[in-house]
Amino acid sequence: MAGMDDRTNRPTALYDLSRAGLTERLAGWGYSDYYAGLVWAGLYRDLAAAPEAIAGLRPELAARLAAETVGVLPVRATIDSADGHTRKVLLGLADGAAIETVLMYFRGRATVCISTQVGCAMGCVFCATGQMGFRRHLSPGEIAAQVVHAERALRARGETLRNIVLMGMGEPLHNYEATMAALETVMDHRGLAIGPRFITLSTVGVVPGIRRLTAERRPMRLAVSLHGATDEERARLVPPARRWPLSELMAACRDYTTTLGRRIFFEWTLIDGQNDGPAQAQALGRLLAGMDAHVNLIPLNPTLGYDGRPTAGPAARAFQAVLAGYGLPSTVRQRRGIDVAAGCGQLAVERS
Ligand code: SAH
Ligand code: SF4
């Protein structure tokens, strides 16, 4: 019998188990860690989609495993962008919900954008996921399954996955444990072996979560969504700004960079006439000056529930020039997959 997840009351899939958890499960059946190693390699190196596809197992173990669910998420729909570089995949979950995963086929640096929750509780006004509200957390296996899906799709094209960005549906630090468990799985060198430098976790600024990442010295890269450089301006776009004011957020970010000796990426959605003027750029410059920081500017992508326009190229470049004056490097993010609503913040699943 498959085990159950205490928190969600759903059956635990093999993808939900850590390497140690798999060892424990197999030990319960009387198999040594050697066999757990075979199963792990079958799941994450050979990408077996069903227990019977795991090669090299003794028949009794294969029979035992046949009762288990791997946790592969079925593809419910696929949409490709017109330029062919972006594929949005709607993956079905066992309870009938669905999540979106976005594959970006940049040759040699293929990237997957994964979700950590169904919906999101944070309510950022311009974000399609925020507009749909919070449904539930994803389990570790549901998060890891998106990465396995990407790697499988890429291998079919003779390529391999390089980058993971946690910028899909949901707030990863609101689902801390499951997110970290999934990242441990995909980083494991005996399986997918995605290096932590190639994983970027993006947060709206959940201060206790950033503090925990620092204390636990988590190795992945961190991106923090700001969008406003004063509490008042930020709170208009990002409601959690009321709970975690900039003074606390920036203190946590500074601790992170100094303790871990690592750069932080700051995200700023550029909204025409809202947060893209020189005064805002200066305020952001003052906020980040002296920090090991890089600013990612994201021209607003349209969503049904927010009536704003993206900042045009010249104004975005002027914003960058102000930041450069404070010694801050920045990038204007290329727009990808807009025609299939797979750009940042556009991931939402229609209510059934
Ligand atoms: N919850 C996390 C990660 C998911 S969103 C976070 O908020 O950081 C990834 C990035 O896309 C965030 O910076 C978010 O603010 C931004 N984003 C959301 N909706 C957007 C939109 N409509 N246009 C541009 N960027 C958007
Ligand atoms: Fe949630 Fe991030 Fe969207 Fe805000 S921007 S609602 S935190 S997914």
pLDDT in tens, 279-298: 999 999 999 999 999 999 99
128 shares its domain with 259 = yes
311 within a domain of the structure (yes/no): yes
80 shares its domain with 37 = no
What element of type H or E holds 295? strand 293-299
Ligand nearest to the CA of 200: 1
* 127 among known catalytic residues: no
| 62-116 pLDDT tens trace | 999 999 999 999 999 998 888 888 999 999 999 999 999 999 998 889 999 999 9
Beta 86-92 vs 221-225: how paired, if at all?
unpaired
123 shares its domain with 246 = yes
Q: Which of 52, 188, 175, 192 shows the shortest CA–CA distance to 112? A: 192
Q: How many CB atoms lie within 10 A of CB 200?
A: 19
61 shares its domain with 84 = no
CA of 346 relative to ligand 2 center, distance in Å? 10
Q: For ligand 2, is residue 129 a contact (CB within 6 Å)?
A: yes
Q: Which of 343, 235, 223 shows the shortest CA–CA distance to 295? A: 223
The domain containing residue 30 runs over which residues?
A: 4-65
List C-alpha distances in Å: 112 to 22, 196, 246. 26, 14, 30
Q: What is the CATH number of the domain that holds 274?
A: 3.20.20.70
348 within a domain of the structure (yes/no): no
280 shares its domain with 192 = yes
49 shares its domain with 96 = no
Q: For ligand 2, is residue 127 a contact (CB within 6 Å)?
A: yes
**Contact indicator for 202, 196 with CB cutoff of 8 Å:** no
Q: For ligand 1, is residue 280 a contact (CB within 6 Å)?
A: no
Confidence class for position 223, pLDDT limits 50, 70, 90: very high
- Shortest-distance atom of ligand 1 to CA 166: 3
Collapse the DSSP code of 111 into the 3-class scheme (helix H, G, I; strand E, B; otherwise coil) and give the result: strand
* pLDDT tops 90 at residue 334: no
CA of 238 relative to ligand 2 center, distance in Å? 8
Q: What is the CATH number of the domain that holds 30?
A: 1.10.150.530
Confidence class for position 1, pLDDT limits 50, 70, 90: very low
Residue 196 per-residue DSSP state: G
Residue 35 per-residue DSSP state: H
85 shares its domain with 193 = yes
Q: 233-271 burial string, b = 16+ CB within 10 Å, else e?
A: bbbebbbbbeebbbeebbebbbebbeeeebebbbbbbbb
In the chain, what is the greatest distance between 2 CA atoms, to the nearest angstrom?
69
| 313-322 pLDDT tens trace | 999 999 999 9
* 344 among known catalytic residues: yes
The pTM of the full predicted model, rounded to 2 decimals, is: 0.95
Domain count for the chain, please give it. 2
